[in-house]
A and B are shown apart, each in its own frame.
Chain A
Amino acid sequence: GDSVTQMEGPVTLSEEAFLTINCTYTATGYPSLFWYVQYPGEGLQLLLKATKADDKGSNKGFEATYRKETTSFHLEKGSVQVSDSAVYFCALSLNAGKSTFGDGTTLTVKP
């Protein structure tokens, strides 16, 4: 079946450090790929998405590129802030709205 594998956390970085959270997927067909962020006590919020191969999603300084050849969608940010501390979920969605989420990666950014 479809699956999403994320880099295990937790990840702890100093402010202004470079961030990479790895995400790989297995899917039948051509999924759309998403990164969601969950702040403490809140629901998931869409961070960025890409709907086809080689698309790059970006938002708030975060980027991820849909790599079909490596079935990956790694999340990157050049300089993290304390406010980026949250749990990040990679997800895929195929036709008919069926979504599969990874287990999440907890990021803590220290001042």
Chain B
Amino acid sequence: EAGVVQSPRYKIIEKKQPVAFWCNPISGHNTLYWYLQNLGQGPELLIRYENEEAVDDSQLPKDRFSAERLKGVDSTLKIQPAELGDSAVYLCASSFSGSGQETQYFGPGTRLLVL
């Protein structure tokens, strides 16, 4: 079974440029998560989808970050414009349901460097 796929794996951009990350969850998983992981810290939730609905986006900086999951499968996270402080690893995860009891399966992440 294929795991969570993310692309690109690495991205280097200059500040004020836009950037987008893509995630394809495990087949059949209806819940999708985007996390931000700063160096030396644990993941912090940015947004959680159940199917195509964003059910928790309270930690998403909506002035520059946006996300979509139009068909309830793969998802895109966008930053526009990027700032130096956005340099981090962006993790995508998926699970079968959003009950809180289930295991989340993580992708390898996209490492973003903003210069």
Residues of chain A at the chain B interface (Cβ within 8 Å)? 4, 31-32, 34, 36, 41-46, 49, 51, 89, 91, 93-99, 101-104
The verdict on B44 contacting chain A, using a C-beta distance below 8 Å, is yes
In the complex, which residues of chain B have a beta carbon less than 8 angstroms from the beta carbon of A49?
A: 103
* CB 8 Å contact bits of B31-54 with A (1 = contact, 0 = none): 101000000111111001010000
Q: Min CB distance, B29 to chain A, in Å?
A: 12
- For B, the interface residue count at a CB cutoff of 8 angstroms equals 29
Please state if B101 and A32 are interface contacts (CB–CB under 8 Å). Answer: yes
Please state if B106 and A43 are interface contacts (CB–CB under 8 Å). Answer: yes
Please state if B42 and A97 are interface contacts (CB–CB under 8 Å). Answer: no
The verdict on A31 contacting B42 (CB below 8 Å), with A45-B106, A98-B56 known, is no
In the complex, which residues of chain A have a beta carbon less than 8 angstroms from the beta carbon of B106?
A: 36, 43-45
Please state if A102 and B91 are interface contacts (CB–CB under 8 Å). Answer: no
Which of B68-76, B78-86, B92-100 lies on the face that meets chain A? B92-100
Please state if A51 and B101 are interface contacts (CB–CB under 8 Å). Answer: yes
